[in-house]
Amino acid sequence: MYFMLQACHKHGVMHRDLKPENFLFANKKESSPLKAIDFGLSITFKRGEQFNEIVGSPYYMAPEVLKKNYGPEVDVWSAGVILYILLCGIPPFWAETEQGVAQAIIRSVIDFRRDPWPRVSENAKDLVRKMLDPNPKRRLTAQEVLDHPWLQNAKKAPNVPLGETVKARLKQFSVMNKLKKRALRVIAEHLSVEEVAGIKDAFEMMDVEKRGKINLEELRSGLQKLGQQIPEADLQILMEAAGVHDDGTLNYGEFVALSIHLRRMANDEHLHKAFAFFDQNQSGFIEIEELRAVLNDEETNSEDVISAIMHDVDTDKDGCISYEEFAGMMKAGTDWRKASRQYSRERFNNLSLKLFREGSFNLTN
């Protein structure tokens, strides 16, 4: 993760939406490389350039994002939040409401007292502390993170078990997007004959050698013919996220999944159909019993998983998921720049203004 961050910043790219679910293993081997995905909110920057769009995911936002004046240091903050989560299983800045999360981020008080922090090395805590410095000028750079003693001496560090509590907490994070994955499958099943035919035609056009699979060059060329200009780095990420094989190709099924990923936010009708699939009693809300019923064919139907999904998606904490919350879950953190920005802006601009009026932070700092 830290090498990726350093490489991005070295080439003038800011990710702006780093979170655990945006890192995937390339395969199931213990030695598998870790891949960063979802560069939809990324942006190029020049040294000293500042940005003011409120984008990203609430738990991982740096305080200067809420203040609408930030640079690439926000990625180091987000990576610091991920490191904190990996070491203890819960985010450092947490609350029941988004306003509470924002206030916790602004306060930037890091808790190193709760279990298992007493067993975590001082070097590890020092790195977390310096990555989560609320002052971006003091915060470590991506290169300084790589140079930190805790990472430099990683192979010599003792293997100290952090306990079952951390394992259980991390498991909850791994299931946060189960509902989203199930919804995408529903959308795929509801694609019209014309849409399916269009995907099939596109694949056959790209598969010039008629092998039943396409490589990166064929995908690039095919998308250009279809009028879609996607940056080279994003193309590689899309290939990997869709399940690229060892020979660097995608088969038809994987191409369909990739196409759905590219299209799924283009038509709200798809989201309404997916929502209706979960809203079995047509009440206009997805209730917890409906979640249990829909996910009972998955390996995720434990109460912990259901509770984690409900906690993540039910933002107003009324015990059920509205269409707006469902659509927000589907749109947030994807490569659909406009939808993600609009979702983040609508939710956090009001929050930032409210905090400013209450004196929680000063936008001129």
Clarify whether 201 is annotated catalytic.
no
Amino acid in position 215: N
Given the residues 17, 38, 312, 314, the one annotated as active site: 17
Share of the chain above pLDDT 90, in %: 27
**How far apart (Å, rounded) are the C-alpha atoms in residues 362 and 365?**
6
Q: For the chain, give every domain's residue range.
A: 2-172, 175-331
Amino acid in position 163: G
Q: What is the mean pLDDT of residues 287-306?
A: 72
Of 92, 88, 111, 112, the residue nearest 101 (C-alpha)? 92
Q: Give the mean pLDDT of the chain.
A: 76
Report whether 95 contacts 139 (CB < 8 A): no
Does position 354 have pLDDT exceeding 50, yes or no? Answer: no
Q: What is the mean pLDDT of residues 285-309?
A: 74
Specify the CATH number of the domain 2-172.
1.10.510.10
Superfamily grouping for domain 175-331: EF-hand (1.10.238.10)
Of 107, 105, 108, 129, the residue nearest 117 (C-alpha)? 129
**How far apart (Å, rounded) are the C-alpha atoms in residues 3 and 339?**
29
Helix axes 337-357, 323-331, angle to 10 degrees: 110
Q: What is the pLDDT of residue 115?
A: 80
**How far apart (Å, rounded) are the C-alpha atoms in residues 231 and 219?**
12
**How far apart (Å, rounded) are the C-alpha atoms in residues 332 and 335?**
9
Q: What is the pLDDT of residue 263?
A: 55
Q: How many CB atoms lie within 10 A of CB 164?
A: 8
What does the pLDDT look like over 150-197, one tens digit per residue?
999 877 776 766 666 666 656 555 554 567 667 766 766 666 666 666
* pLDDT band (50, 70, 90) for residue 228: low
Residues in contact with 121: Cβ distance below 8 Å, sequence separation at least 6, in sequence order: 150, 157, 158, 160
Q: What is the pLDDT of residue 312?
A: 73
Assess whether the region 2-172 and the region 175-331 belong to the same CATH fold: no
